[in-house]
Amino acid sequence: MVMRANDARLLVEAMQIFLLTISYNNVSIVIGYSRTVSHQTDQILALARQKGIIRPRDLVVLGLDHRYLAKLVSERCIVKSGHGLYHLADYDVTESHSLVEAVSAQAKGVVCLASALNFHGIGTQLPHKVWLSVPYGSWIAVKKSVPMRIIVMRSPGYESGIQIHRLEGVDVPIYNIPKTISDCFKFRNKIGLDVALEALRDVLHDRRCTREEIRHFAKINRVEKIMQPYMEALSG
């Protein structure tokens, strides 16, 4: 019979407690065990306060057993918000919570296109999925805590124009406004040309960014010639 690493560690902890308290009564043994459990759960709670959203693999780094996480869930100190995602029961959920869950679930995911437009308050789109970009060749999450639309981007488009926004205690990468506008034209067949035009018109009218900034990212995305006539039409 092969013993798993987690089981072995718990057995060692139990043996250590027993050896330390063998000459005492049963009350001492219970107290010793409670202290061990308390130490593990306190570390998990501290990690959740620090990171906002935690995953079982985050516990591995600290040498914590994931079964203590399940214990905290059963005690309603921790809430499971999605597949493999957990947060404190008194976690301050905002309207950007779906973005936080999405980037926590999808490695290297960057909020883009319709979701980036909505975050920046551009246009009238209310996406039912979180739009994320990932670099070419990336692993795509199979089990998703929130509905996602994954867009694969190649370099240098993927890494250009990323801003980090602190949402609910989590660092969420989101493309800036001019990069998002150029992305809308690059992926106009996915998001719709009408959405791209509405976004371009809004940012120019409200002066959310400059034409030079838009042209800079349009050049990176190789859509400069495609965007030029629309930019000229909106020059007034």
Q: Is the pLDDT of residue 76 over 50?
A: yes
> What is the secondary structure of the chain as a DSSP string?
-PPPHHHHHHHHHHHHHHHHHTTS-HHHHHHHHHHHHHHHHHHHHHHHHHHSSB-HHHHHHTT--HHHHHHHHHTTSEEEEETTEEEETT----TTHHHHHHHHHSTT-EE-HHHHHHHHT-SS---SSEEEEEETT----SS-SS-EEEEEE-TTTTTTTEEEEEETTEEEEEE-HHHHHHHHHHTHHHH-HHHHHHHHHHHHHTTSS-HHHHHHHHHHTT-HHHHHHHHHHT--
The tens digit of pLDDT for each residue in 148-178 reads: 999 999 999 999 999 999 988 789 999 999 9
| pLDDT band per the 50, 70, 90 thresholds, residue 32 | very low
User: Residue 36 — pLDDT band, cuts 50, 70, 90?
Assistant: low
| pLDDT attached to residue 229 | 96
Q: In the predicted model, what is the mean pLDDT of residues 110-115? A: 97
Average pLDDT of 92-106?
81
Q: Tokens 């739009």 label which residue?
A: 131
Q: How far apart are CA 224 and CA 196, in angstroms?
A: 14
Q: Is the pLDDT of residue 106 over 80?
A: yes
- If one compares 180 and 20, the residue with the highest pLDDT of the two is 180
The first and second tokens of residue 152, run together, are: 């694969």
Among the residue ranges 14-18, 95-99, 110-114, 128-132, the one predicted with the least confidence is: 14-18
* Contacts of 127 by beta carbon, 8 Å cutoff, 6+ apart: 114, 115, 118, 149
| CA atoms within a 13 Å half-sphere pointing along the CA-CB vector of 36 | 18
Q: How many other CB atoms are there within 10 angstroms of residue 78's CB atom?
A: 23
Q: Kindly list the domain boundaries of the chain, sorted by start residue.
A: 5-88, 97-233
Condensed to tens digits (0 to 9), the pLDDT of residues 170-226 reads 899 999 999 999 999 999 999 999 999 999 999 999 999 999 999 999 999 999 999
Q: Is the dihedral of CA 174, 177, 182, 187 positive or negative?
A: positive
In this structure, how many other beta carbons lie within 10 angstroms of the beta carbon of residue 99? 27
Q: What is the pTM of this model?
A: 0.67
Task: Give the number of other Cβ atoms within 10 Å of residue 201's Cβ.
Answer: 15
pLDDT of residue 121: 94
Q: What is the mean pLDDT of the chain?
A: 82
Would strands 110-111 and 85-88 be described as parallel, antiparallel, or unpaired?
A: unpaired
